[in-house]
A and B are shown apart, each in its own frame.
Chain A
Amino acid sequence: MTTASESLTPAISSARPIQFRKVLSGLLSHSVLILGAAFILLPFIWMLLTSVRSPDEIFEGSLWPWPRNFYGAEHYAAALQQVPMLGFMLNGVIVCAGILIMQLLVAIPAAYALAKLRFPGRGLLFALVVAGLAIPIQVPALPLYMGLAFTGLLNTYFAMMFPFFLSVFAIFLLRQSFKTFPDEIIEAARLDGMSEMEIVWRVVVPSARPAIAAFSIFSIVAHWNDLYWPLIVINDTALAPPPLGMMFFADAEVGTNYGALMAGATIVTAPLVLTFLALRRRFIQGITMTGIK
Protein backbone atom coordinates (compact mmCIF):
# COMPACT_ATOMS: atom_id res chain seq x y z
CA MET A 1 0.00 0.00 0.00
CA THR A 2 2.71 2.44 0.99
CA THR A 3 4.79 1.56 -2.05
CA ALA A 4 1.88 2.29 -4.34
CA SER A 5 1.28 5.74 -2.90
CA GLU A 6 4.98 6.46 -3.03
CA SER A 7 5.26 5.63 -6.72
CA LEU A 8 2.36 7.94 -7.43
CA THR A 9 4.05 10.87 -5.75
CA PRO A 10 6.09 12.93 -8.22
CA ALA A 11 9.80 12.83 -7.52
CA ILE A 12 10.18 16.56 -6.99
CA SER A 13 7.59 16.98 -4.25
CA SER A 14 8.41 13.69 -2.52
CA ALA A 15 10.77 15.29 0.01
CA ARG A 16 8.07 16.94 2.09
CA PRO A 17 5.57 14.07 2.41
CA ILE A 18 8.39 11.74 3.43
CA GLN A 19 9.56 14.15 6.08
CA PHE A 20 5.98 14.57 7.24
CA ARG A 21 5.45 10.84 7.39
CA LYS A 22 8.66 10.45 9.38
CA VAL A 23 7.49 12.97 11.96
CA LEU A 24 4.08 11.34 12.11
CA SER A 25 5.47 7.83 12.59
CA GLY A 26 7.89 9.16 15.20
CA LEU A 27 4.98 10.75 17.04
CA LEU A 28 2.93 7.57 16.81
CA SER A 29 5.76 5.36 18.05
CA HIS A 30 6.48 7.73 20.94
CA SER A 31 2.85 7.75 21.99
CA VAL A 32 2.69 3.95 22.03
CA LEU A 33 5.97 3.77 23.94
CA ILE A 34 4.89 6.43 26.45
CA LEU A 35 1.55 4.71 27.01
CA GLY A 36 3.36 1.42 27.67
CA ALA A 37 5.88 3.17 29.91
CA ALA A 38 3.04 4.68 31.93
CA PHE A 39 1.60 1.19 32.50
CA ILE A 40 5.03 -0.07 33.58
CA LEU A 41 5.73 2.89 35.86
CA LEU A 42 2.27 3.25 37.43
CA PRO A 43 2.92 0.75 40.27
CA PHE A 44 6.28 2.33 41.09
CA ILE A 45 4.89 5.86 41.13
CA TRP A 46 1.81 4.91 43.12
CA MET A 47 3.97 2.99 45.59
CA LEU A 48 6.19 6.03 46.20
CA LEU A 49 3.25 8.45 46.44
CA THR A 50 1.27 6.21 48.80
CA SER A 51 4.30 5.74 51.01
CA VAL A 52 4.28 9.47 51.80
CA ARG A 53 0.49 10.02 51.85
CA SER A 54 -1.43 10.38 55.10
CA PRO A 55 -3.74 7.49 56.11
CA ASP A 56 -6.85 9.71 55.80
CA GLU A 57 -6.07 10.50 52.20
CA ILE A 58 -5.35 6.84 51.46
CA PHE A 59 -8.75 5.88 52.86
CA GLU A 60 -10.51 8.49 50.76
CA GLY A 61 -9.34 6.55 47.73
CA SER A 62 -8.85 9.80 45.87
CA LEU A 63 -7.28 9.86 42.41
CA TRP A 64 -5.40 13.07 43.13
CA PRO A 65 -1.77 11.96 42.83
CA TRP A 66 0.10 14.50 44.93
CA PRO A 67 -0.22 14.04 48.73
CA ARG A 68 -1.76 17.01 50.56
CA ASN A 69 -0.04 16.20 53.82
CA PHE A 70 3.30 14.50 53.80
CA TYR A 71 3.33 11.50 56.04
CA GLY A 72 6.48 9.82 54.78
CA ALA A 73 8.47 9.89 58.00
CA GLU A 74 5.71 8.12 59.93
CA HIS A 75 5.18 5.41 57.28
CA TYR A 76 8.87 4.66 56.85
CA ALA A 77 9.37 4.64 60.62
CA ALA A 78 6.45 2.20 60.93
CA ALA A 79 7.89 -0.04 58.23
CA LEU A 80 11.26 -0.07 59.99
CA GLN A 81 10.01 -0.42 63.55
CA GLN A 82 6.83 -2.51 63.50
CA VAL A 83 8.52 -5.07 61.28
CA PRO A 84 12.26 -5.73 61.25
CA MET A 85 12.64 -4.52 57.68
CA LEU A 86 16.37 -3.87 58.10
CA GLY A 87 16.73 -7.35 59.56
CA PHE A 88 15.08 -8.80 56.42
CA MET A 89 17.49 -6.85 54.27
CA LEU A 90 20.47 -8.07 56.29
CA ASN A 91 19.22 -11.65 55.93
CA GLY A 92 18.92 -11.06 52.21
CA VAL A 93 22.51 -9.83 52.04
CA ILE A 94 23.82 -12.79 54.07
CA VAL A 95 21.93 -15.35 51.97
CA CYS A 96 22.83 -13.79 48.61
CA ALA A 97 26.50 -13.40 49.55
CA GLY A 98 26.75 -16.93 50.96
CA ILE A 99 25.12 -18.44 47.90
CA LEU A 100 27.21 -16.45 45.42
CA ILE A 101 30.53 -17.20 47.12
CA MET A 102 29.84 -20.93 47.24
CA GLN A 103 28.54 -20.95 43.67
CA LEU A 104 31.75 -19.36 42.41
CA LEU A 105 34.03 -21.53 44.55
CA VAL A 106 32.38 -24.69 43.22
CA ALA A 107 31.64 -23.65 39.65
CA ILE A 108 34.93 -21.99 38.66
CA PRO A 109 37.19 -25.04 39.11
CA ALA A 110 34.53 -27.36 37.66
CA ALA A 111 34.07 -25.10 34.64
CA TYR A 112 37.83 -24.95 34.11
CA ALA A 113 38.07 -28.73 34.32
CA LEU A 114 35.29 -29.09 31.75
CA ALA A 115 36.81 -26.51 29.45
CA LYS A 116 40.50 -27.35 29.60
CA LEU A 117 41.27 -30.66 31.30
CA ARG A 118 40.98 -34.24 30.11
CA PHE A 119 39.79 -36.61 32.83
CA PRO A 120 37.42 -39.55 33.20
CA GLY A 121 33.90 -38.38 34.00
CA ARG A 122 34.14 -35.17 32.03
CA GLY A 123 31.42 -36.19 29.60
CA LEU A 124 29.20 -37.37 32.44
CA LEU A 125 29.65 -34.13 34.36
CA PHE A 126 28.79 -32.05 31.34
CA ALA A 127 25.72 -34.16 30.57
CA LEU A 128 24.53 -33.76 34.18
CA VAL A 129 25.13 -30.00 34.05
CA VAL A 130 23.07 -29.65 30.87
CA ALA A 131 20.30 -31.85 32.29
CA GLY A 132 20.38 -29.83 35.50
CA LEU A 133 19.73 -26.62 33.57
CA ALA A 134 16.19 -27.79 32.96
CA ILE A 135 15.36 -28.63 36.59
CA PRO A 136 13.90 -25.78 38.64
CA ILE A 137 14.26 -25.73 42.45
CA GLN A 138 10.60 -26.69 42.89
CA VAL A 139 11.41 -30.22 41.70
CA PRO A 140 13.94 -31.32 44.33
CA ALA A 141 12.26 -29.09 46.95
CA LEU A 142 10.26 -31.87 48.60
CA PRO A 143 13.13 -34.35 49.24
CA LEU A 144 15.50 -31.50 50.15
CA TYR A 145 12.97 -30.26 52.70
CA MET A 146 12.70 -33.76 54.16
CA GLY A 147 16.48 -34.05 54.36
CA LEU A 148 16.75 -30.72 56.15
CA ALA A 149 13.88 -31.64 58.48
CA PHE A 150 15.47 -34.97 59.42
CA THR A 151 18.84 -33.35 60.12
CA GLY A 152 17.21 -30.57 62.18
CA LEU A 153 18.47 -27.86 59.84
CA LEU A 154 15.17 -26.15 59.00
CA ASN A 155 15.04 -22.48 60.01
CA THR A 156 18.73 -21.84 59.43
CA TYR A 157 20.66 -19.72 56.95
CA PHE A 158 22.23 -22.96 55.77
CA ALA A 159 18.82 -24.35 54.77
CA MET A 160 18.10 -21.24 52.71
CA MET A 161 21.45 -21.41 50.91
CA PHE A 162 22.31 -25.09 50.51
CA PRO A 163 20.23 -26.04 47.43
CA PHE A 164 21.89 -23.21 45.49
CA PHE A 165 25.53 -23.95 46.34
CA LEU A 166 25.79 -25.69 43.02
CA SER A 167 24.77 -23.58 40.04
CA VAL A 168 24.78 -25.71 36.91
CA PHE A 169 24.10 -22.47 35.08
CA ALA A 170 27.35 -20.95 36.39
CA ILE A 171 29.31 -24.03 35.32
CA PHE A 172 27.72 -23.98 31.87
CA LEU A 173 28.30 -20.28 31.36
CA LEU A 174 31.86 -20.15 32.72
CA ARG A 175 32.88 -23.25 30.79
CA GLN A 176 31.89 -21.41 27.64
CA SER A 177 33.89 -18.38 28.69
CA PHE A 178 36.97 -20.40 29.76
CA LYS A 179 36.96 -22.35 26.47
CA THR A 180 37.96 -19.22 24.59
CA PHE A 181 41.05 -18.78 26.79
CA PRO A 182 44.21 -19.60 24.75
CA ASP A 183 45.77 -22.98 25.57
CA GLU A 184 49.27 -21.59 24.89
CA ILE A 185 49.06 -19.31 27.91
CA ILE A 186 48.00 -22.20 30.15
CA GLU A 187 50.88 -24.31 28.79
CA ALA A 188 53.30 -21.46 29.42
CA ALA A 189 52.02 -21.04 32.97
CA ARG A 190 52.50 -24.78 33.56
CA LEU A 191 56.08 -24.57 32.30
CA ASP A 192 56.61 -21.66 34.68
CA GLY A 193 55.78 -24.09 37.46
CA MET A 194 52.34 -22.81 38.37
CA SER A 195 49.94 -25.34 39.84
CA GLU A 196 46.55 -25.87 38.16
CA MET A 197 44.88 -24.16 41.11
CA GLU A 198 47.04 -21.06 40.59
CA ILE A 199 46.36 -21.14 36.85
CA VAL A 200 42.60 -21.15 37.46
CA TRP A 201 42.45 -18.34 39.98
CA ARG A 202 45.32 -16.13 38.84
CA VAL A 203 45.45 -16.59 35.07
CA VAL A 204 42.05 -17.72 33.76
CA VAL A 205 39.63 -16.08 36.20
CA PRO A 206 40.87 -12.49 35.66
CA SER A 207 40.25 -12.85 31.93
CA ALA A 208 36.68 -14.04 32.56
CA ARG A 209 35.73 -11.14 34.79
CA PRO A 210 32.83 -9.90 32.59
CA ALA A 211 31.20 -13.32 32.56
CA ILE A 212 31.68 -13.67 36.32
CA ALA A 213 30.25 -10.20 36.94
CA ALA A 214 27.25 -10.94 34.74
CA PHE A 215 26.62 -14.22 36.52
CA SER A 216 26.96 -12.54 39.93
CA ILE A 217 24.26 -10.02 39.06
CA PHE A 218 22.02 -12.78 37.79
CA SER A 219 22.53 -14.80 40.97
CA ILE A 220 21.99 -11.88 43.35
CA VAL A 221 18.81 -10.75 41.61
CA ALA A 222 17.43 -14.29 41.53
CA HIS A 223 18.06 -14.97 45.22
CA TRP A 224 17.21 -11.53 46.57
CA ASN A 225 13.79 -11.90 44.94
CA ASP A 226 13.20 -15.60 45.62
CA LEU A 227 10.14 -16.43 47.68
CA TYR A 228 9.46 -20.13 47.09
CA TRP A 229 12.38 -21.74 48.87
CA PRO A 230 12.62 -19.41 51.92
CA LEU A 231 8.85 -19.74 52.37
CA ILE A 232 9.29 -23.50 52.70
CA VAL A 233 12.30 -23.73 55.02
CA ILE A 234 11.87 -20.60 57.18
CA ASN A 235 9.06 -19.79 59.56
CA ASP A 236 11.11 -17.79 62.02
CA THR A 237 10.56 -14.08 61.18
CA ALA A 238 14.07 -13.23 62.39
CA LEU A 239 15.59 -15.24 59.53
CA ALA A 240 13.28 -14.08 56.73
CA PRO A 241 14.85 -12.58 53.61
CA PRO A 242 13.10 -9.55 52.04
CA PRO A 243 10.36 -11.27 49.97
CA LEU A 244 9.33 -13.55 52.84
CA GLY A 245 9.47 -10.66 55.30
CA MET A 246 7.38 -8.60 52.92
CA MET A 247 4.82 -11.40 52.76
CA PHE A 248 4.59 -11.62 56.57
CA PHE A 249 4.20 -7.84 56.63
CA ALA A 250 1.49 -7.86 53.95
CA ASP A 251 -0.46 -10.63 55.70
CA ALA A 252 -0.36 -8.72 58.98
CA GLU A 253 -1.21 -5.34 57.49
CA VAL A 254 -3.88 -6.05 54.87
CA GLY A 255 -6.32 -3.18 54.73
CA THR A 256 -5.00 -1.51 57.84
CA ASN A 257 -1.90 0.42 56.96
CA TYR A 258 -1.20 0.62 53.25
CA GLY A 259 1.09 3.62 53.70
CA ALA A 260 3.52 1.64 55.83
CA LEU A 261 3.18 -1.37 53.55
CA MET A 262 4.09 0.76 50.51
CA ALA A 263 7.03 2.20 52.46
CA GLY A 264 8.14 -1.38 53.15
CA ALA A 265 7.77 -2.28 49.47
CA THR A 266 9.87 0.75 48.55
CA ILE A 267 12.61 -0.25 50.98
CA VAL A 268 12.70 -3.84 49.71
CA THR A 269 12.73 -2.85 46.05
CA ALA A 270 15.16 0.05 46.32
CA PRO A 271 18.55 -1.72 46.55
CA LEU A 272 18.23 -3.70 43.31
CA VAL A 273 16.49 -0.92 41.39
CA LEU A 274 19.14 1.62 42.39
CA THR A 275 21.95 -0.79 41.51
CA PHE A 276 20.23 -1.41 38.20
CA LEU A 277 20.03 2.31 37.45
CA ALA A 278 23.73 2.67 38.28
CA LEU A 279 24.95 -0.34 36.28
CA ARG A 280 22.41 -0.54 33.49
CA ARG A 281 24.39 -2.37 30.79
CA ARG A 282 25.92 -4.94 33.12
CA PHE A 283 22.60 -5.54 34.77
CA ILE A 284 20.64 -6.12 31.59
CA GLN A 285 23.42 -8.35 30.32
CA GLY A 286 23.50 -10.32 33.57
CA ILE A 287 19.79 -10.98 33.73
CA THR A 288 19.17 -11.71 30.09
CA MET A 289 22.17 -14.01 30.04
CA THR A 290 19.72 -16.84 30.59
CA GLY A 291 18.63 -15.96 27.09
CA ILE A 292 22.07 -15.74 25.54
CA LYS A 293 22.83 -19.44 25.54
Chain B
Amino acid sequence: MPTALPSARRELFSGLLFSAPAFILLSLIHIVPLLTLIALSFTDYELGALDVRWLGLDNFARAFSDPVFQRALRNTLLYVAIVIPGSVLLGLLIALLVHARKRTRSIYEVIYFLPVTSTLVAMATVWQFLLHPRLGPVNGFLKSLGFPEIAFLSEPSLVIPTLAVIGLWQMVGFNMILFLAGLSTIPRDLYDAAEVDGAGGAVDRFLRITWPMLGPTTMFVTVTTCITAFKVFDTVAVLTHGRGGSEVLLYAIYLEGFHYFKMGYAAALTLVFLAFILVFSILQARRMDRKVHYA
Protein backbone atom coordinates (compact mmCIF):
# COMPACT_ATOMS: atom_id res chain seq x y z
CA MET B 1 0.00 0.00 0.00
CA PRO B 2 1.56 3.26 -1.05
CA THR B 3 -0.50 5.23 1.49
CA ALA B 4 0.75 3.20 4.47
CA LEU B 5 3.65 5.43 5.41
CA PRO B 6 1.98 8.84 4.99
CA SER B 7 -1.04 7.52 6.87
CA ALA B 8 1.09 6.39 9.82
CA ARG B 9 2.85 9.73 9.88
CA ARG B 10 -0.46 11.52 9.63
CA GLU B 11 -1.83 9.54 12.57
CA LEU B 12 1.23 10.30 14.64
CA PHE B 13 1.09 14.00 13.86
CA SER B 14 -2.66 14.40 14.47
CA GLY B 15 -2.53 12.18 17.53
CA LEU B 16 0.07 14.38 19.18
CA LEU B 17 -1.72 17.56 18.12
CA PHE B 18 -5.15 16.38 19.34
CA SER B 19 -3.91 15.14 22.67
CA ALA B 20 -1.62 18.12 23.38
CA PRO B 21 -4.29 20.33 25.04
CA ALA B 22 -5.40 17.40 27.19
CA PHE B 23 -1.78 16.67 28.19
CA ILE B 24 -1.12 20.32 29.05
CA LEU B 25 -4.30 20.67 31.13
CA LEU B 26 -3.71 17.32 32.82
CA SER B 27 -0.32 18.56 33.99
CA LEU B 28 -1.64 21.94 35.12
CA ILE B 29 -4.79 20.71 36.84
CA HIS B 30 -3.82 17.29 38.12
CA ILE B 31 -0.14 16.37 38.03
CA VAL B 32 1.59 19.57 39.15
CA PRO B 33 -1.00 20.26 41.89
CA LEU B 34 -0.75 16.69 43.17
CA LEU B 35 3.05 16.87 43.39
CA THR B 36 2.79 20.30 45.04
CA LEU B 37 0.27 18.91 47.49
CA ILE B 38 2.59 16.07 48.49
CA ALA B 39 5.52 18.48 48.91
CA LEU B 40 3.39 20.90 50.96
CA SER B 41 2.23 18.16 53.29
CA PHE B 42 5.79 17.80 54.63
CA THR B 43 6.06 21.52 55.50
CA ASP B 44 4.54 24.09 57.81
CA TYR B 45 3.79 26.45 54.91
CA GLU B 46 1.11 29.06 55.51
CA LEU B 47 -0.16 31.30 52.76
CA GLY B 48 1.77 34.58 52.88
CA ALA B 49 4.48 33.21 55.20
CA LEU B 50 8.04 34.07 54.27
CA ASP B 51 9.89 31.04 55.54
CA VAL B 52 8.99 27.41 55.33
CA ARG B 53 10.18 24.62 57.56
CA TRP B 54 10.46 20.97 56.62
CA LEU B 55 8.41 18.92 59.05
CA GLY B 56 8.68 15.43 57.64
CA LEU B 57 5.67 13.46 58.73
CA ASP B 58 4.76 15.76 61.65
CA ASN B 59 1.60 17.04 59.93
CA PHE B 60 0.27 13.51 59.66
CA ALA B 61 1.16 12.70 63.25
CA ARG B 62 -0.51 15.91 64.35
CA ALA B 63 -3.64 15.14 62.33
CA PHE B 64 -4.21 11.85 64.09
CA SER B 65 -3.78 13.40 67.52
CA ASP B 66 -5.83 16.51 66.71
CA PRO B 67 -9.21 16.16 68.45
CA VAL B 68 -10.95 18.27 65.79
CA PHE B 69 -9.67 16.11 62.96
CA GLN B 70 -10.42 12.95 64.88
CA ARG B 71 -13.97 14.13 65.39
CA ALA B 72 -14.25 15.05 61.70
CA LEU B 73 -13.06 11.59 60.74
CA ARG B 74 -15.42 9.87 63.18
CA ASN B 75 -18.34 12.01 62.00
CA THR B 76 -17.60 11.25 58.35
CA LEU B 77 -17.43 7.53 59.04
CA LEU B 78 -20.67 7.67 61.02
CA TYR B 79 -22.31 9.60 58.18
CA VAL B 80 -21.09 7.03 55.64
CA ALA B 81 -22.19 4.17 57.89
CA ILE B 82 -25.74 5.52 57.97
CA VAL B 83 -26.02 6.63 54.35
CA ILE B 84 -24.66 3.46 52.73
CA PRO B 85 -27.02 0.83 54.09
CA GLY B 86 -29.90 3.31 54.07
CA SER B 87 -29.61 4.51 50.51
CA VAL B 88 -28.48 1.20 49.01
CA LEU B 89 -31.20 -0.91 50.63
CA LEU B 90 -33.93 1.67 50.15
CA GLY B 91 -32.75 2.23 46.57
CA LEU B 92 -33.01 -1.50 45.97
CA LEU B 93 -36.41 -1.82 47.63
CA ILE B 94 -37.85 1.08 45.65
CA ALA B 95 -36.30 -0.22 42.41
CA LEU B 96 -37.88 -3.64 42.97
CA LEU B 97 -41.28 -2.11 43.62
CA VAL B 98 -41.04 0.38 40.76
CA HIS B 99 -39.79 -2.30 38.38
CA ALA B 100 -42.97 -4.31 38.93
CA ARG B 101 -45.22 -1.33 38.14
CA LYS B 102 -46.24 -0.72 34.56
CA ARG B 103 -48.43 2.33 34.18
CA THR B 104 -47.12 4.28 37.19
CA ARG B 105 -43.46 3.36 36.79
CA SER B 106 -42.33 6.58 35.13
CA ILE B 107 -44.17 8.78 37.65
CA TYR B 108 -42.34 7.14 40.54
CA GLU B 109 -39.05 7.32 38.67
CA VAL B 110 -39.44 11.06 38.20
CA ILE B 111 -40.44 11.72 41.81
CA TYR B 112 -37.59 9.73 43.34
CA PHE B 113 -35.06 11.22 40.95
CA LEU B 114 -36.12 14.81 41.66
CA PRO B 115 -33.66 15.45 44.55
CA VAL B 116 -30.74 14.28 42.40
CA THR B 117 -31.27 17.13 39.94
CA SER B 118 -32.06 19.85 42.45
CA THR B 119 -29.46 22.19 43.91
CA LEU B 120 -28.47 20.68 47.25
CA VAL B 121 -27.54 24.04 48.78
CA ALA B 122 -31.01 25.42 48.08
CA MET B 123 -32.71 22.27 49.30
CA ALA B 124 -30.56 22.33 52.43
CA THR B 125 -32.08 25.70 53.36
CA VAL B 126 -35.49 24.08 52.89
CA TRP B 127 -34.50 21.25 55.22
CA GLN B 128 -33.29 23.82 57.72
CA PHE B 129 -36.74 25.33 57.70
CA LEU B 130 -38.50 21.94 57.79
CA LEU B 131 -36.47 20.97 60.86
CA HIS B 132 -36.64 24.37 62.56
CA PRO B 133 -37.44 23.76 66.25
CA ARG B 134 -40.23 26.34 66.44
CA LEU B 135 -41.35 27.11 62.88
CA GLY B 136 -40.80 23.84 61.07
CA PRO B 137 -43.55 21.37 60.23
CA VAL B 138 -41.53 18.35 61.41
CA ASN B 139 -41.40 19.65 64.97
CA GLY B 140 -44.95 20.97 64.59
CA PHE B 141 -46.05 17.44 63.81
CA LEU B 142 -44.07 15.95 66.70
CA LYS B 143 -45.50 18.54 69.10
CA SER B 144 -49.05 17.81 67.95
CA LEU B 145 -48.38 14.19 68.96
CA GLY B 146 -47.24 15.39 72.37
CA PHE B 147 -43.48 15.05 71.90
CA PRO B 148 -41.12 17.81 73.02
CA GLU B 149 -39.46 19.85 70.28
CA ILE B 150 -36.21 18.45 68.92
CA ALA B 151 -33.26 20.56 67.76
CA PHE B 152 -32.22 18.22 64.96
CA LEU B 153 -29.41 20.43 63.70
CA SER B 154 -27.90 21.68 66.96
CA GLU B 155 -28.18 18.70 69.30
CA PRO B 156 -24.68 17.12 68.99
CA SER B 157 -25.89 13.53 69.08
CA LEU B 158 -28.51 14.17 66.39
CA VAL B 159 -26.73 16.41 63.94
CA ILE B 160 -24.81 13.76 61.95
CA PRO B 161 -27.77 11.36 61.72
CA THR B 162 -29.94 14.28 60.58
CA LEU B 163 -27.42 15.25 57.90
CA ALA B 164 -27.28 11.58 56.89
CA VAL B 165 -31.06 11.47 56.41
CA ILE B 166 -30.79 14.52 54.13
CA GLY B 167 -27.96 12.76 52.25
CA LEU B 168 -30.12 9.66 51.96
CA TRP B 169 -33.01 11.76 50.68
CA GLN B 170 -30.73 13.08 47.95
CA MET B 171 -29.07 9.81 46.92
CA VAL B 172 -31.82 7.22 47.03
CA GLY B 173 -33.24 8.09 43.59
CA PHE B 174 -29.84 7.82 41.95
CA ASN B 175 -29.34 4.36 43.42
CA MET B 176 -32.86 3.37 42.40
CA ILE B 177 -32.07 4.19 38.76
CA LEU B 178 -28.84 2.15 38.87
CA PHE B 179 -30.71 -0.80 40.37
CA LEU B 180 -33.48 -0.48 37.75
CA ALA B 181 -30.82 -0.67 35.04
CA GLY B 182 -29.42 -3.76 36.74
CA LEU B 183 -32.87 -5.35 37.03
CA SER B 184 -33.59 -4.85 33.34
CA THR B 185 -30.54 -6.97 32.42
CA ILE B 186 -31.82 -10.04 34.27
CA PRO B 187 -33.24 -12.39 31.60
CA ARG B 188 -36.94 -13.16 32.02
CA ASP B 189 -36.51 -16.88 31.36
CA LEU B 190 -34.53 -17.23 34.59
CA TYR B 191 -37.73 -16.45 36.46
CA ASP B 192 -39.74 -18.80 34.25
CA ALA B 193 -37.23 -21.57 34.87
CA ALA B 194 -37.40 -20.91 38.61
CA GLU B 195 -41.17 -21.18 38.49
CA VAL B 196 -40.85 -24.60 36.90
CA ASP B 197 -38.40 -25.55 39.65
CA GLY B 198 -41.00 -24.57 42.20
CA ALA B 199 -39.57 -21.23 43.32
CA GLY B 200 -42.82 -19.39 42.91
CA GLY B 201 -42.89 -17.00 45.87
CA ALA B 202 -41.65 -13.44 45.57
CA VAL B 203 -39.16 -13.84 48.42
CA ASP B 204 -37.89 -17.08 46.96
CA ARG B 205 -37.45 -15.53 43.52
CA PHE B 206 -35.64 -12.57 45.02
CA LEU B 207 -33.20 -14.69 47.04
CA ARG B 208 -32.52 -17.24 44.29
CA ILE B 209 -32.36 -15.03 41.22
CA THR B 210 -32.63 -11.27 41.69
CA TRP B 211 -30.16 -10.82 44.56
CA PRO B 212 -27.34 -12.99 43.07
CA MET B 213 -27.86 -11.52 39.58
CA LEU B 214 -27.74 -8.00 40.99
CA GLY B 215 -24.48 -8.69 42.83
CA PRO B 216 -22.24 -6.56 40.58
CA THR B 217 -24.79 -3.73 40.53
CA THR B 218 -25.08 -3.79 44.32
CA MET B 219 -21.31 -3.69 44.69
CA PHE B 220 -21.06 -0.79 42.26
CA VAL B 221 -23.88 1.17 43.90
CA THR B 222 -22.33 0.65 47.32
CA VAL B 223 -18.92 1.92 46.26
CA THR B 224 -20.37 4.90 44.38
CA THR B 225 -22.52 5.82 47.37
CA CYS B 226 -19.52 5.47 49.63
CA ILE B 227 -17.46 7.93 47.57
CA THR B 228 -20.33 10.43 47.37
CA ALA B 229 -21.03 10.12 51.09
CA PHE B 230 -17.37 10.59 51.92
CA LYS B 231 -17.43 13.92 50.12
CA VAL B 232 -20.27 15.32 52.26
CA PHE B 233 -19.77 19.07 52.42
CA ASP B 234 -22.65 21.22 51.12
CA THR B 235 -25.16 20.36 53.85
CA VAL B 236 -22.56 20.90 56.58
CA ALA B 237 -21.46 24.22 55.09
CA VAL B 238 -25.04 25.52 54.86
CA LEU B 239 -26.74 23.96 57.87
CA THR B 240 -24.20 23.82 60.67
CA HIS B 241 -20.96 25.50 59.50
CA GLY B 242 -19.29 22.62 61.28
CA ARG B 243 -20.56 23.83 64.64
CA GLY B 244 -21.93 21.70 67.45
CA GLY B 245 -19.45 18.89 66.79
CA SER B 246 -20.57 18.42 63.19
CA GLU B 247 -17.17 18.73 61.49
CA VAL B 248 -16.63 16.35 58.59
CA LEU B 249 -13.45 15.58 56.67
CA LEU B 250 -13.91 18.00 53.78
CA TYR B 251 -15.16 20.76 56.04
CA ALA B 252 -12.09 20.38 58.27
CA ILE B 253 -9.84 20.59 55.20
CA TYR B 254 -11.76 23.61 53.95
CA LEU B 255 -11.34 25.44 57.27
CA GLU B 256 -7.63 24.65 57.70
CA GLY B 257 -6.75 25.45 54.10
CA PHE B 258 -9.02 28.28 53.07
CA HIS B 259 -9.86 29.97 56.37
CA TYR B 260 -6.70 29.63 58.43
CA PHE B 261 -4.47 29.26 55.32
CA LYS B 262 -2.44 26.48 56.96
CA MET B 263 -1.49 25.05 53.60
CA GLY B 264 0.97 22.45 54.89
CA TYR B 265 -1.40 20.95 57.42
CA ALA B 266 -4.39 21.11 55.05
CA ALA B 267 -2.30 19.35 52.38
CA ALA B 268 -1.64 16.48 54.79
CA LEU B 269 -5.36 16.23 55.59
CA THR B 270 -6.15 16.26 51.86
CA LEU B 271 -3.81 13.31 51.33
CA VAL B 272 -5.60 11.38 54.08
CA PHE B 273 -8.89 12.16 52.33
CA LEU B 274 -7.40 11.05 49.00
CA ALA B 275 -6.24 7.77 50.52
CA PHE B 276 -9.81 6.92 51.50
CA ILE B 277 -11.18 7.89 48.09
CA LEU B 278 -8.50 5.84 46.30
CA VAL B 279 -9.31 2.69 48.25
CA PHE B 280 -12.95 2.97 47.17
CA SER B 281 -12.02 3.86 43.58
CA ILE B 282 -9.78 0.83 43.28
CA LEU B 283 -12.65 -1.36 44.40
CA GLN B 284 -14.81 0.33 41.78
CA ALA B 285 -12.20 -0.02 39.03
CA ARG B 286 -11.80 -3.73 39.75
CA ARG B 287 -15.51 -4.11 39.16
CA MET B 288 -15.28 -2.24 35.87
CA ASP B 289 -12.54 -4.59 34.67
CA ARG B 290 -14.96 -7.44 34.92
CA LYS B 291 -17.03 -5.86 32.19
CA VAL B 292 -20.09 -5.30 34.25
CA HIS B 293 -22.58 -3.29 32.27
CA TYR B 294 -25.41 -1.23 33.58
CA ALA B 295 -27.16 0.17 30.56
Contact = CB atoms under 8 A, between A and B. Distances in A.
Tell me the interface secondary structure of chain B in the complex.
helix
Contacts of B101: 29, 33
Contacts of A224: 119
A291 B108 contact: no
Nearest to A144: B33
A293 B293 CA distance: 7
Contact of B15 (A122, A228, A269): A122
Given A61-B136, A228-B250, A146 B18 contact: no
Contacts of A46: 126, 129-130, 137
B62 interface: no
B18 A166 contact: no
A262 B129 contact: yes
Contact of B121 (A30, A128, A130, A227): A227
Contacts of B10: 190, 196
Contacts, number: 309
Interface stretch (B52-60, B72-80, B270-278): B270-278
B167 interface: no
Given A120-B12, A262-B126, A247 B121 contact: yes
Nearest to A7: B198
Interface string A219-253: 00100110110011000000000111011001000
A243 B121 CA distance: 6
B20 to A, nearest CB: 9
B19 interface: yes
B254 interface: yes
B8 A118 contact: yes
Given A110-B22, A288-B178, A44 B114 contact: yes
Nearest to A170: B22
Contacts of B64: none
> Which applies to chain A's interface (DSSP): helix, strand, loop or mixed?
helix
A261 interface: yes
B114 A291 contact: no
A188 interface: no
A224 B116 CA distance: 12
A134 B278 contact: yes
Contact of B29 (A42, A112, A165): A165
B238 interface: yes
A142 B108 contact: no
Nearest to A285: B295
Nearest to B93: A32
A118 B93 contact: no
A278 B236 CA distance: 31
B90 interface: yes
Contacts of A145: 257-258
A59 B34 CA distance: 50
B98 to A, nearest CB: 7
Interface string B94-118: 1001101100101011111111111
Nearest to A217: B117
B8 to A, nearest CB: 7
Contact of B254 (A37, A197, A232): A232
Contact of A133 (B93, B116, B121, B281): B281
B118 A196 contact: no
A40 interface: yes
A163 B257 CA distance: 18
B96 to A, nearest CB: 9
Contact of A118 (B15, B104, B108, B270): B15
A138 B231 contact: yes
Contact of B7 (A25, A110, A190, A291): A190
Contact of B119 (A37, A50, A118, A225): A225
Contacts of A159: none
B125 A250 contact: yes
A142 B30 contact: no
B127 interface: yes
A62 B139 CA distance: 10
A117 to B, nearest CB: 4
B184 interface: no
Given A136-B231, A272-B118, A288-B177, A106 B25 contact: yes
Interface of B: 7-8, 10-19, 21-23, 25-26, 29-34, 36-37, 40, 47, 90, 93-94, 97-98, 100-101, 104, 106, 108-123, 125-130, 132, 134-137, 139-141, 144, 169, 172-174, 177-178, 181, 198-204, 220-221, 224, 231, 233-234, 237-238, 250, 253-254, 257-258, 263, 266-267, 270, 273-274, 277-278, 281-282, 285, 288, 293-295
Nearest 10 CB-CB pairings of A with B: A119-B15, A2-B201, A140-B33, A109-B18, A134-B281, A166-B25, A143-B33, A110-B22, A117-B15, A243-B121
Given A44-B114, A121-B23, A262-B126, 11 more contacts: A2-B203, A43-B115, A47-B123, A109-B18, A117-B15, A125-B19, A140-B33, A141-B270, A225-B118, A265-B123, A280-B110
6 contacts: A37-B112, A50-B129, A61-B137, A61-B140, A134-B282, A221-B117
